[in-house]
Amino acid sequence: MNKRLTAFLSILSLFLSTLLIPVNAAAKAGGACTKAGITSVTSGKTYTCIKSGKKLVWDSGVSISQSSELSKSLSPLSECKISDQRLRKTQPNNVGFPITKQEIPISGTTKVVFLPVDFADAPGVGDPSVRTTAIAEKMKSWFKYFSNGKFNIDAQHSKSWFHSSLKSSTIPNVHPMSTGTNETASLANSFAQEWIDLSGNTFDFSGVTAIFFEFPESVKGFGDGTQGRNITLKTKQGNITVMFNITGNSWFTEGFMGVTNKFRADHFWSFYIHEMFHSMGLAQHAPGNGIPLFIGSNQTGTPEGFAGVLDPWESFLLGWLNESEIFCATLNDLNSSKVELTPIDTSKSGMKAVIVQISNHQVLVICSRRPEGWSTELPKSASGILVYEVNTTRDRNDEAVQADANGSDNGNNPLFSKWAFYLLPDGVSGGMSIRRNLTEYILRKGQSVTFGGVKVNYLEAGLTDKVTVGRKA
């Protein structure tokens, strides 16, 4: 009797154990699964169900010893690559995919020249290469980090000034927005050619894609300066098609752009990077034009501070974010997913952006921010989660351009069309038309953002941030 009972209990135990095996326990990479986002643990790995084409399959799995909470995209990255659908473009740059080829490539190493020019009434002092070398080294460090090593510059300098016979005080403001016309472009182009001719055989211009004309701080003309884009110039090595930057006397005037001369001078590296990006296919100037949270929206900072960071959407456009740094989900595939985000301001590896495709022309972008790394000049309270909306049917309209010029826009007012806007935390009164401190756009632990059928909850703050992203109930 005891033997029969023992045998029966053994069989019963075996039967019950089979009932307790999870349905997804036998998950394997590429195998079929039933619902995007569900996970299964098999042989020491956590597998996540993802959408691949029209099928739901298990991903390649992550070792439990590596991460017990690592999020994976719910949708292929291609689903988050919404196209640029603007009918009108104020400039030939991109707010959506694909990024179009411009004079400066977006990968590899590109050649740039720093060409110092002085004037009869503004003589150059000392070795100009001391300043330009420091600028170039900062740019190299920045590009290496934000491109994940996919892009950088090779810079040429001069230890001597090239002398123009002109008096700088006789040269008008060459910035087209200041004059309201593009008539200054031909004047700027003629100056660029003249200064290249002055440089003789100092530089090897073959393959050069960007030229930065450097002036003494005592320069008295050119006003707000200007940029030439996709301009063909003659050199000793033949014709080249480049972008160039002319920095006018405004940039050396105390209080210009609301900051001290020294503060602005310390950020010429970021100013030059911003201008290069226009010739690499980026529209920039959103989200929050003028608000110093991204290098594309404010090149050199304001009294609120400075953040030398490229926004994740434009990093994505350039192909500079690695696949492992992006959590992509379409609204249809979205469930309540917990994602751990690493601040984009620091070199710490991890997930850098959540991108949720709301429609074929609209996404939400979520990232973590810290006043550290490339953003040490932000206020200490600029720590948390930033959420913004991208709509690739929108462009800067005439009102927005004028509002940018005269300062009547707060940078994030939806009355002035832009391709992206910061979203305020739920429950904040007054809306986006009110001029706000930059920290008001950054979520604190416990706050949420609801937009376009998506709800983002900020759960935990620490060295990293944890959020849940799901469909609005």
pLDDT at 53: 66
Q: Is 430 found in the same domain as 304?
A: yes
Sign of CA dihedral 403, 407, 411, 412: negative
Q: Is 388 found in the same domain as 322?
A: yes
Nearest to 438 by CA among 358, 390, 383: 383
Domain final position from 246, 278, 310 = 278
Q: Is 237 found in the same domain as 314?
A: no
43 in any annotated domain: no
Q: At 70, list the tokens.
A: 């690592």
> Using alpha carbons only, how large is the chain's radius of gyration in Å?
27
Can you tell me the distance from the alpha carbon of 285 to that of 173, in angstroms, rounded to the nearest whole number? 22
207 in any annotated domain: yes
Q: At 467, list the tokens.
A: 């959020």
Q: At which residue do the structure tokens 């020491």 appear?
A: 44
Can you tell me the distance from the alpha carbon of 448 to that of 467, in angstroms, rounded to the nearest whole number? 9
Can you list the positions of beta strands (E) in 55-196? 55-58, 62-63, 108-118, 151-156, 162-163
Domain of 267?
A: 108-278
pLDDT at 204: 98
Can you tell me the distance from the alpha carbon of 422 to that of 425, in angstroms, rounded to the nearest whole number? 10
Q: Is 307 found in the same domain as 455?
A: yes
Helix (H, G, I), strand (E, B) or coil at 147: coil
Can you tell me the distance from the alpha carbon of 402 to that of 408, in angstroms, rounded to the nearest whole number? 8
Q: Is 95 left (phi over 0), alpha (psi -120 to 50) or beta?
A: alpha
422 in any annotated domain: yes
Nearest to 354 by CA among 344, 346, 345: 344
Can you tell me the distance from the alpha carbon of 308 to that of 286, in angstroms, rounded to the nearest whole number? 15
Whole-model pTM: value is 0.84
pLDDT at 409: 85
Cα 453 to Cα 75, 79, 154, 349: the distances in Å are 17, 17, 46, 30
Could you give the count of Cα atoms lying within 13 Å of 131 in the half-sphere of its Cβ? 20
Domain final position from 278, 312, 339 = 278
Q: Is 212 found in the same domain as 157?
A: yes
Q: Is 429 found in the same domain as 308?
A: yes
Nearest to 410 by CA among 287, 264, 284: 287
Q: Is 259 found in the same domain as 319?
A: no
Q: Is 323 found in the same domain as 248?
A: no
pLDDT at 246: 95
Q: Is 205 found in the same domain as 317?
A: no
Report whether 63 contacts 44 (CB < 8 A). yes
Q: What is the mean pLDDT of the chain?
A: 89
pLDDT at 64: 44
Q: At 118, list the tokens.
A: 């002085």
Domain final position from 223, 257, 278 = 278
pLDDT at 37: 67
91 in any annotated domain: no
| Number of Cβ within a 10 Å radius of residue 445 | 15
Q: Is 205 found in the same domain as 129?
A: yes
171 in any annotated domain: yes
| Cα end-to-end distance, the chain, whole Å | 58
Q: Is 440 exposed, middle or buried (0-12, 13-18, 19+ CB in 10 A)?
A: middle
340 in any annotated domain: yes
* Backbone dihedral angles phi then psi of residue 80, each to the nearest 5 degrees: -90, -5
Q: Is 318 found in the same domain as 378?
A: yes
Report whether 117 contacts 161 (CB < 8 A). yes
Q: Please state at what angle helix 128-146 crosses helix 268-278, rounded to 10 degrees.
A: 60
Can you tell me the distance from the alpha carbon of 179 to that of 78, in angstroms, rounded to the nearest whole number? 42
Q: Which residues of 247-281 are buried (b: 16+ CB within 10 A; e: fewer)?
A: bbbbbbeeebbebeeebbbbbbbbbbbbbbbbbbb
The tally of domains found in the chain comes to 2
User: Per-residue pLDDT tens for 66-84?
Assistant: 343 448 899 999 999 999 9
pLDDT at 19: 41
Q: Is 319 left (phi over 0), alpha (psi -120 to 50) or beta?
A: left
Report whether 211 contacts 192 (CB < 8 A). yes
Q: Is 269 found in the same domain as 413?
A: no
73 in any annotated domain: no
Per-residue pLDDT of the chain (473 residues; tens, 9 = 90+): 455 655 555 555 544 444 433 344 468 888 898 887 677 877 766 677 776 667 888 776 654 433 434 488 999 999 999 999 999 888 789 999 999 999 999 999 999 999 999 999 999 999 999 999 999 999 999 999 999 999 999 999 999 999 999 999 999 888 876 544 556 788 999 999 999 999 999 999 999 999 999 999 999 999 889 999 999 999 999 999 999 999 999 888 888 878 888 998 899 999 999 999 999 999 999 999 999 999 999 999 999 999 999 999 999 999 999 999 999 999 999 989 999 999 999 988 999 999 999 999 999 999 999 999 999 999 999 999 999 999 999 998 777 777 777 778 888 999 999 999 999 999 998 888 888 999 999 999 999 999 999 999 999 999 999 999 999 87
Report whether 442 contacts 382 (CB < 8 A). yes
Answer whether the bond into residue 98 is a cis peptide, omega within 30°: yes
Q: At 404, list the tokens.
A: 């940018």
- What residues have CB less than 8 Å from 244, skipping those under 6 apart? 192, 210, 211, 212, 213, 227, 228, 231, 233
264 in any annotated domain: yes
pLDDT at 430: 87
Can you tell me the distance from the alpha carbon of 194 to that of 388, in angstroms, rounded to the nearest whole number? 44
